[in-house]
């Protein structure tokens, strides 16, 4: 099967840091009003086989749609402790979409961002947006670049702890969305758009995985004695974080998103125990540098090999594992280049369509978790 590529940058949308008298219209304005805000119209063009898979995963997709509405509502009021505007969120989402290179996402977030008033032209506003954009770009492209100093720079331009958590959730969600959409594109054998000159960041340094330490947050978690009722409820029902309550208290700065995110992870819990899905998630965590997420993969020879490098893992994996590792690595590193060429080897190795989609989902949700655990904490 020959891979099809469309070379060009017709979707590469750039938003200036200040509002201009006459702004250029988005390239695909109708993308802002698509009914399905998660799959962005893909569900309407899938074939019967993929449509059947989407029906089977309906609860997961519905949870993802609810998360979109929470993170990117039609209107958003700011407060003293929650200063991120809708413009901040959508411009950050567009930055993540650009890093991922997925055209459908770029079209959508550019179209939603276009009619919104940008920040004023003051030096402070420009500096604030610059720091937000830099943080978002680094977290989306290479999570290991985020450290205490990067978070301190956000604090210095006025972002609160709830702002930083919400911003990180935006990055995580769009990274997840990009890989689900890229995976479905590949299942449908749609042509890929290739951005010449896009640099693929290196995999995380193997030394990050050489020692085992407890994960510690880099942002102060919610203190239980001061927690609001919705925060207490979100923490109590965050089953995926039962063994790491400090993470639940950290993410509770954005309680509504934590509640919905926990529900999404619970819906995927059964699939995560499948050996191939767990392997796909581990590959994503290894590339992104999330020691905490990688350590969830069962101990053994393959995990030790992956610690060294993805290539080392490939050298000892069986045929099915090799194809899953190669696909997971491609989807993690360069979702915009994933095509039917990368799907076919998994089919040849005996995986059916449902199993392949589960692998796609495992990589996608791992990409989200990696960014939060690596960007907001250290192990």
**Does residue 43 fall inside a structural domain?**
yes
Indicate whether 171 and 136 sit together in one domain: yes
Query: Is the pLDDT higher at 226 or at 379?
Result: 226
Backbone angles phi and psi of 377, in degrees to 5: -155, 180
Instruction: Give me the helix-helix angle, 255-267 and 58-71, nearest 10°.
Output: 170
Residue 364, CA distances (Å) to 39, 110, 157, 268 in order: 13, 22, 31, 11
**Does residue 160 fall inside a structural domain?**
yes
Window from 28-32, 38-42, 131-135 with minimum mean pLDDT = 28-32
* 5 pLDDT more than 50: no
306 is in which domain, residue-wise? 206-220+269-378
**Does residue 249 fall inside a structural domain?**
no
Q: Please report, for the domain that includes residue 40, its CATH number.
A: 1.20.1290.10
Task: Give the model's pLDDT for residue 263.
Answer: 93
**Does residue 215 fall inside a structural domain?**
yes
Task: Quickly state the pLDDT bin for 272 (edges 50, 70, 90).
Answer: confident
Indicate whether 133 and 210 sit together in one domain: no
Residue 31, CA distances (Å) to 73, 106, 110 in order: 16, 9, 9
**Does residue 246 fall inside a structural domain?**
no
**Does residue 275 fall inside a structural domain?**
yes
Indicate whether 215 and 292 sit together in one domain: yes
pLDDT tens for each residue of 316-330 = 999 999 999 999 999
Task: Give the model's pLDDT for residue 107.
Answer: 95
Query: Is the pLDDT higher at 237 or at 25?
Result: 237
Indicate whether 33 and 166 sit together in one domain: yes
Length of the chain in terms of residues written:
379
Where does residue 23 fall: left (phi above 0), alpha (psi -120 to 50 degrees), or beta otherwise? beta
Strand-pairing partners, residue 378, are: 216
Domain boundary among 136, 160, 194: 194
**Does residue 318 fall inside a structural domain?**
yes
Indicate whether 157 and 213 sit together in one domain: no
pLDDT tens for each residue of 209-238 = 987 778 999 999 999 999 999 999 999 988
pLDDT tens for each residue of 37-83 = 999 999 999 999 999 999 999 999 999 999 999 999 999 999 999 99
CA 32 from chain centre, in angstroms, equals: 20
Residues 6 or more apart in contact with residue 163 via CB below 8 angstroms: 81, 82, 83, 84, 154
Indicate whether 312 and 187 sit together in one domain: no
Indicate whether 215 and 276 sit together in one domain: yes
Task: Give the model's pLDDT for residue 197.
Answer: 52
Indicate whether 177 and 213 sit together in one domain: no
Task: Quickly state the pLDDT bin for 117 (edges 50, 70, 90).
Answer: very high
How many domains is the chain partitioned into structurally? Answer: 2
Residue 30, CA distances (Å) to 71, 75, 114, 215 in order: 20, 19, 12, 43
**Does residue 111 fall inside a structural domain?**
yes
Indicate whether 153 and 33 sit together in one domain: yes
Indicate whether 190 and 290 sit together in one domain: no
Compute the Cα dihedral for 92, 116, 70, 223 and give only its sign. Answer: positive
Task: Quickly state the pLDDT bin for 368 (edges 50, 70, 90).
Answer: very high
Indicate whether 321 and 277 sit together in one domain: yes
Indicate whether 47 and 104 sit together in one domain: yes
């Amino acid at each position: 099967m020959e891979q099809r590529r469309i070379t060009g940058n017709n979707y590469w949308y750039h938003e200036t840091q200040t509002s201009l008298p006459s702004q250029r219209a988005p390239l695909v304005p109708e993308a802002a009003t698509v009914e399905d805000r998660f799959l962005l119209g893909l569900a309407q063009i899938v074939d019967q086989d993929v449509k059947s898979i989407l029906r089977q995963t309906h609860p997961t997709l519905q949870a993802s749609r609810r998360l979109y509405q929470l993170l990117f509502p039609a209107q958003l009021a700011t407060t003293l402790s929650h200063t991120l505007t809708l413009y901040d969120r959508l411009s950050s989402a567009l930055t993540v979409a650009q890093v991922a290179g997925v055209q459908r996402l770029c079209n959508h977030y550019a179209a939603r961002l276009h009619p919104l008033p940008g920040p004023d032209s003051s030096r402070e506003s420009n500096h604030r947006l610059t720091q937000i954009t830099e943080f978002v770009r680094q977290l989306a492209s290479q999570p290991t670049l985020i450290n205490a100093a990067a978070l301190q720079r956000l604090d210095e331009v006025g972002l609160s702890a709830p702002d930083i958590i919400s911003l990180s959730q935006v990055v995580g969600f769009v990274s997840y969305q990009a890989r689900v959409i890229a995976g479905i594109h590949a299942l449908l054998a749609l042509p890929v758009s290739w951005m010449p000159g896009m640099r693929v960041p290196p995999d995380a340094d193997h030394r990050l995985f050489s020692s085992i330490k407890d994960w510690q947050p880099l942002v102060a978690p919610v203190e239980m004695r001061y927690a609001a009722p919705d925060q207490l409820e979100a923490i109590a029902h965050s089953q995926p974080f039962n063994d790491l309550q400090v993470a639940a208290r950290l993410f509770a700065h954005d309680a509504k998103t934590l509640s919905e995110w926990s529900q999404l992870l619970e819906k995927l819990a059964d699939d995560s125990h499948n050996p191939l899905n767990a392997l796909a998630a581990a590959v994503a965590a290894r590339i992104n540098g999330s020691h905490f997420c990688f350590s969830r993969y069962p101990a053994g020879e393959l995990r030790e090999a992956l610690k060294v490098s993805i290539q080392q893992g490939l050298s000892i994996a069986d045929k099915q594992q090799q194809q899953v590792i190669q696909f997971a690595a491609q989807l993690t590193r360069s979702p915009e280049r994933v095509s039917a060429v990368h799907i076919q080897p998994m089919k040849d190795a005996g995986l059916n369509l449902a199993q392949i989609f589960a692998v796609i989902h495992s990589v996608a949700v791992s990409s989200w978790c990696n960014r939060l655990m690596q960007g907001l904490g250290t192990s």
